[in-house]
Amino acid sequence: MQIFVPRENSPEIRVAVTPETVRKFTKLGLSVAIETGAGLHSFLSDNDYQSAGAQIVSAENRSQSLQTADILLHVLPLEIADIAQLKPHAWHISFFDAFRYPEALAQFQQQQTNVISLERIPRTSFAQKMDALSSQSNLAGYVSVLQGVAYLRKTLPMLVTAAGTLQPARVFVIGVGVAGLQAIATAKRLGARVEAFDTRPEVEEQVRSVGAKFMKIDLGCTESTQQGYAKALTDEQLQRQREAMIDICAHSDVVITTAKVFGRKAPQIIHQAMLAAMKPGSVVVDLAVEAGGNTEGLVPGKNITTDHGVHLLGEGYWERKVSASASQLFASNLCALIEHLWEPQTQQLRRDENDPILKDCWWLNDGQPRLQNRLKLLAS
Ligand code: NAD
């Protein structure tokens, strides 16, 4: 079977395979072709890939490789014109939020393609090494602190000097999933005073274990789905949350928001009143921007400063700031997935509807939809 890795479209700069994973695929009996320059933003040259056993495909021969590949590996879904070239029964594996890209989904169906959506890999211990959402969120959490600090004109740790003592900066993290927990740990390592809040009370222990303080707000009943995702708050609960957070925002130097709700737009938590209470020069880093953002007035894709002097960072895709590390982890997740699905006897990928990984992430089976009903169940 032939794997093809086309170049990502700008602004994506991560790459789906590394020389190390090329070697692993080759050992399994798969051959790998990669478009020229695909790894450049991760400091991986064509020569590196070639030495690992990959064939380098020139831009002129890209179409031919799209038409003949059995497995397409990508970070983000291919463009419609590229999808239209795929052969029937080929596998397309990438992040793919099918609800957001209905035209791409229709084109995949028309091509009779198999589509695996990496966002839907189950969040189980068994699936951990294939969980690209977690590996990339983890890096985004790390980057969020560095980005916030780059805008903050203050030091993060307490510094005792002959000229006086600088107090530690205060960081407030809203939403303690994978990204939030890494943001807390990173800010703590850099010496900040860190507080955090999440609607799932079970994360209090994790917050404490990395040395931060968990903020308690009485919101009444808050629920999680069977998969461990937070359920949406009611409008009244959200309003109560905002009111309770005004003071803590007012004394925080950096607020990092990561709050998401499975299958829905992100809740808008930071309202104008909270921004108005914040000190000029303080920073909000919104990690939920790709899901609609947690902050009122945020401009997706941009970093702006309010009239009042608060920086709102909404650039998004924060993990791209460490593209070499992000590519390394992403490629490793994909490789673990292929190793799981690979059947040496048939030299094909597994097509088992009941497979613990495939059952949740296999959107299209040779163009036939198979996930919609199950996703509705997961969200309930
Ligand atoms: P996510 O990106 O979906 O959401 C981020 C956080 O926002 C969550 O912790 C959520 O509770 C929180 N949130 C939602 N609404 C909020 C609000 N109004 N105020 C404050 N916080 C709010 O989360 P994720 O990082 O993808 O993790 C989702 C779940 O999956 C978690 O339970 C996590 O522990 C679990 N998980 C498990 C594994 C595993 O291997 N077992 C791996 C990764 C994640």
Using alpha carbons only, give the angle 189, 192, 193 rounded to the nearest 5 degrees: 120
Quote the ligand 1 centre to 249 CA distance (angstroms): 21
The Å distance, Cα 176 to ligand 1 centre, comes to: 6
pLDDT over 90 (residue 128): yes
Query: 306-357: per-residue pLDDT in tens?
Result: 999 999 999 999 999 999 999 999 999 999 999 999 999 999 999 999 999 9
Smallest CA-to-CA distance from 75 within 353, 358, 323, 340 is with 323
pLDDT of residue 377: 47
The verdict on 236 and 203 lying in the same domain is yes
In a domain, 132, yes or no: no
Give the distance (Å) from ligand 1 centre to CA of residue 220: 19
10 and 110 housed in the same domain: yes
233 with 296, same domain: the answer is: yes
Instruction: Tell me the average pLDDT across 190-219.
Output: 94
- Same domain flag for 148 and 49: no
102 and 163 share one domain: no
More confident site: 375 or 52? 52
Residue nearest to atom 1 of ligand 1 (CA): 260
pLDDT at 219 (0 to 100):
83
Q: Is residue 167 part of a domain?
A: yes
Pocket of ligand 1, candidates 121, 198, 215, 287: which has the most ligand atoms within 8 Å of its Cβ, to mutate? 198
Q: Mean pLDDT, the chain, as a whole number?
A: 94
Count CB atoms within 10 A of the CB of residue 121.
22
From the CB of residue 118, how many other CB atoms can be counted at a distance below 10 Å?
23
* Ligand 1, atom 33: closest residue by C-alpha: 177
Better pLDDT: 262 or 199: 199
Tokens of 378: 């997961």
Domain that holds residue 339: 2-120+323-379
CATH number of the domain bearing residue 334: 3.40.50.720
Mean pLDDT computed over 159-183? 97
Q: Residue whose CA is closest, atom 28 of ligand 1?
A: 229
Which of the listed residues 209, 237, 260 should we mutate to test ligand 1's pocket, taking the one with most ligand atoms within 8 A of CB? 260
Evaluate if residue 63 carries a pLDDT over 60.
yes
pLDDT at 48 over 90: yes
Same domain for 19 and 110, yes or no, is yes
Q: pLDDT band for 370, please (50, 70, 90 cuts).
A: confident
Which pLDDT score, from 0 to 100, does residue 225 have?
Answer: 77
Q: Is residue 134 part of a domain?
A: no
Residue identifier of the C-alpha nearest atom 13 of ligand 1: 259
- Within a domain: 302: yes
Dmax over CA atoms of the chain, in Å, equals 72
Summarize pLDDT for 228-281 with one digit per residue, the tens: 788 888 999 999 999 999 999 999 999 999 999 987 899 999 999 999 999 999
Note whether 31 and 2 are within 8 A (CB).
Answer: yes
Q: Indicate if 166 and 281 belong to the same structural domain.
A: yes
pLDDT at 374: 56
**pLDDT for res 375:** 55
Q: How many CB atoms lie within 10 A of CB 176?
A: 27
Q: Which amino acid is at 304?
A: I
CB atoms within 10 A of CB 266: 22
- Residue 304 and residue 312 in contact, taking contact as beta carbons nearer than 8 Å: yes
What pLDDT band is residue 376 in, cutting at 50, 70 and 90? low
**Residues 3-26: pLDDT tens digits?**
999 999 999 999 999 999 999 999
Nearest CA to ligand 1 atom 3: 260
What pLDDT is attached to residue 98? 86
Q: Is the pLDDT of residue 140 over 80?
A: yes
Mean pLDDT throughout 48-69? 98
Could you tell me the pLDDT band of residue 380, with boundaries at 50, 70 and 90? Answer: very low
Determine what percent of the chain is predicted with pLDDT higher than 90. Answer: 89
The number of domains in the chain is 2
98 & 67 share domain: yes
Q: Is residue 277 included in any domain, yes or no?
A: yes
Residues belonging to the active site: 123, 128, 131, 134, 229
Residues with CB under 6 A from ligand 1: 123-125, 128, 131, 134, 137, 174-180, 197-200, 228-230, 233, 241, 258-262, 267, 269
Give residue for tokens 């999808």.
83
Choose the final residue of a domain: 316, 337, 368.
316
What number is the average pLDDT over the span 276-295? 97
- In this structure, the answer to whether residues 51 and 195 fall within a common structural domain is no
Q: If you measure from the C-alpha of residue 167 to the centroid of ligand 1, how many angstroms do you get, rounded to a whole number?
A: 31
Do 113 and 31 lie in a common domain?
yes
Gap from CA of 178 to ligand 1 centroid (Å): 7
Ligand 1 mean position, distance from CA 280 (Å): 30
Q: Whose alpha carbon is nearest atom 15 of ligand 1?
A: 259
